[in-house]
A and B are shown apart, each in its own frame.
Chain A
Amino acid sequence: DSGVTQTPKHLITATGQRVTLRCSPRSGDLSVYWYQQSLDQGLQFLIQYYNGEERAKGNILERFSAQQFPDLHSELNLSSLELGDSALYFCASSVDAAGELFFGEGSRLTVL
Chain B
Amino acid sequence: TQLLEQSPQFLSIQEGENLTVYCNSSSVFSSLQWYRQEPGEGPVLLVTVVTGGEVKKLKRLTFQFGDARKDSSLHITAAQPGDTGLYLCAGEGKSTFGDGTTLTVKP
Contact = CB atoms under 8 A, between A and B. Distances in A.
Nearest to A31: B94
Interface of B: 6, 33, 40-45, 48, 86, 88, 90, 93-100, 102
A2 B100 CA distance: 21
Given A48-B94, A94-B94, A101-B94, A41 B43 contact: no
A40 B102 contact: yes
The interface centre, meaning the residue of A41, A43, A90, A103 with most chain B CB atoms within 10 A of its CB, is A43
B94 A33 contact: yes
A42 interface: yes
Contacts, number: 52
Given A43-B88, A94-B94, A103 B42 contact: yes
Given A33-B94, A106-B42, 10 more contacts: A4-B42, A40-B102, A42-B98, A45-B95, A48-B95, A56-B93, A100-B45, A103-B44, A105-B40, A105-B41
B45 A41 contact: no
Contacts of B90: 43
A59 B106 CA distance: 37
Interface of A: 2, 4, 33, 35, 40-45, 48, 56, 58, 90, 92, 94, 97, 100-101, 103-106
A43 B102 contact: no
A40 B100 CA distance: 8
Contacts of A44: 97
Contacts of B94: 33, 45, 48, 92, 94, 97, 101
B88 A92 contact: no
Given A33-B94, A94-B94, A42 B45 contact: no
A48 B90 CA distance: 16
Given A45-B95, A48-B95, A94-B94, A105 B100 contact: no
